[in-house]
DNA sequence: AGGGCCATGTAATAGGTTACATGATTGC
DNA sequence: GCAATCATGTAACCTATTACATGGCCCT
């Protein structure tokens, strides 16, 4: 119950078309909330009907025209009231944890490759986050250094630091998993 | 596409009724995969029709009879083939991260309470995990000590260690978030 | 000529949530 | 007497995924 809100945040950061939003949901905001273009177009249409966002036709040369959406007053209000709600206890879905527990009833060693593959994905993501941090927040430290604070920037940065901490934790844990799995020889 | 598999793993660890499964999904396996009783009964019925699980009527005194489910050969095979699939890139849904980025367009300081509440939830979960670890895996170390390995036990333990690492990471990150939010005075 | 990107959608299906429903027993 | 726990389900609705569909431009 919050794709709408993720879209509002993304459009406040920068107005854009459904297509552009779909691309953002493949990177940036998409690391914290996934959505496909089909979903986005559907929700965007409803949000327009409800007056949360306003569309502006932007003619383009050499490309199809696009509808650039931006947040309307009603959308801003909807976001604000969502931010003030105390809800959501985070529902989790860790396929890999289920697989690891399931491996006890199959062949634990057969999971090694799969876990290694996941480890690689997390290593790549970490590298990607760190590169983004160097690019967008160079020379900044968590505690700031007397510079006047820019909420949008700093909050984006703290979320990014969360992503970095998550990837580091995952890599360390997956190493633990690999050590554990390797204690069980193949073909058991 | 894996509630079935989570149920199979849980039933392999210990056969049980739909009700009992629903309770397990509130703790233990539920920390990695959430499901309500309605969902479980529906899926369990389908799994029975498909021959993945077998039900046994267990008469009880002082309580309604229950159907105890256990994994059938077809279910075991289905689990095995799922374990050998290389899939799933983990779809994420971090409401809080979206909220934090959204707070830049509202009142960052108003989020402090919400984040503190989340921090408390994670602190409680960590304490709960650590208590479970002391109870179920006393005196064990990640690298074992020459004892013969029991796959089911050790894999449960490594998953639990993942939960512990996750909660610790979250607590540290939420502290970082709080420090950042507090840099923006109230009523901005 | 073919593949990839830009741009927007519809349709069918699967999965998940919320609300409603029933009924017995145990403990306060 | 009332609430909680055990036990099982149905129905309606909302969300999300997968497949299908179109069409022009740009680059190799």
Which of B105, B156, B166 shows the shortest C-beta gap to A169?
B166
Q: Which residues contact A70 (CB under 8 A, 6 or more apart)?
A: A11, A15, A53, A54, A56
Closest to B132 in 3D by CA, of B144, B124, B120: B124
Q: Do B152 and A105 touch (CB under 8 A)?
A: yes
Q: What is the pLDDT of residues A109-160, one digit of tens each?
A: 999 999 999 999 999 999 999 999 999 999 876 555 556 679 999 999 999 9
For D14, nearest residue by CA–C1' is A1
Looking up tokens 């703790």 gives B27
B11 and A CB contact within 8 Å: no
Instruction: Quote the minimal CA–CA distance from B38 to chain A in Å.
Output: 16
Indicate whether B187 pLDDT > 70: no
- Residues 82-141, chain A, touching B (beta carbon < 8 A): 82-84, 86-108, 110-111, 113-114, 117, 121
Closest to A108 in 3D by CA, of A99, A118, A120: A99
Instruction: Quote the minimal CA–CA distance from A24 to chain B in Å.
Output: 13
What is the Cα–Cα distance from A86 to A90, expressed in whole angstroms? 12
Q: What is the pLDDT of residues B78-134, one digit of tens each?
A: 999 999 988 776 777 899 999 999 999 999 999 999 999 999 999 999 999 999 999
For position A188, what pLDDT does the model report? 42
What is the Cα–Cα distance from B159 to B9, expressed in whole angstroms? 13
Q: Do B102 and A9 touch (CB under 8 A)?
A: yes
- What is the value of pTM for the model shown? 0.92
E-state strands within chain A: 53-58, 66-71
When pLDDT is cut at 50, 70 and 90, the band that residue B4 belongs to is very high
On chain A, the residues whose CB falls within 8 A of the CB of B97 are 32-33, 159, 162
Q: Once rounded to an integer, what is the mean pLDDT over residues B160-185?
A: 95
Q: Once rounded to an integer, what is the mean pLDDT over residues B131-140?
A: 89
Burial track B118-131 (b if 16+ CB lie within 10 A, e otherwise):
bbeebeebbeebee
Instruction: Quote the minimal CA–CA distance from A5 to chain B in Å.
Output: 8
Closest to A167 in 3D by CA, of A98, A113, A109, A119: A119
- Select, from the ranges A82-96, B3-17, B135-149, the one with the highest average predicted confidence (pLDDT): B3-17
Q: Which residue has the higher pLDDT, A3 or A143?
A: A3
What is the Cα–Cα distance from B53 to A105, expressed in whole angstroms? 15
For position A186, what pLDDT does the model report? 66
Assigned token pair, B17: 């009724």
DSSP-derived letter for residue A147 is P
On chain B, the residues whose CB falls within 8 A of the CB of A77 are none
């Amino acid at each position: 119950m919050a794709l709408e809100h993720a879209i509002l945040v993304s459009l406040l950061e920068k107005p854009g078309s459904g297509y552009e939003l779909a691309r953002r949901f493949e990177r940036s905001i998409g690391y914290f909330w996934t959505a496909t273009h089909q979903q986005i177009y559907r929700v965007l249409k409803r949000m327009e009907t409800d007056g949360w966002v306003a569309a502006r036709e932007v003619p383009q040369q050499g490309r199809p025209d696009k509808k650039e959406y931006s947040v309307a007053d009603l959308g801003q209000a909807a976001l604000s009231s969502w931010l003030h709600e105390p809800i959501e206890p985070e529902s989790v879905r860790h396929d890999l944890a289920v697989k690891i527990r399931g491996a006890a009833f199959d062949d634990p060693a057969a999971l090694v490759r799969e876990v290694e593959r996941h480890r690689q994905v997390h290593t790549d993501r970490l590298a990607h986050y760190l590169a983004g941090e160097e690019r967008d927040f160079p020379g900044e430290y968590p505690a700031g250094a007397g510079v006047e604070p820019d909420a949008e920037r700093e909050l984006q940065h703290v979320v990014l630091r969360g992503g970095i901490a998550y990837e580091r934790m995952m890599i360390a844990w997956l190493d633990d998993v690999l050590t554990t799995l390797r204690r069980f020889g193949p073909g058991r």
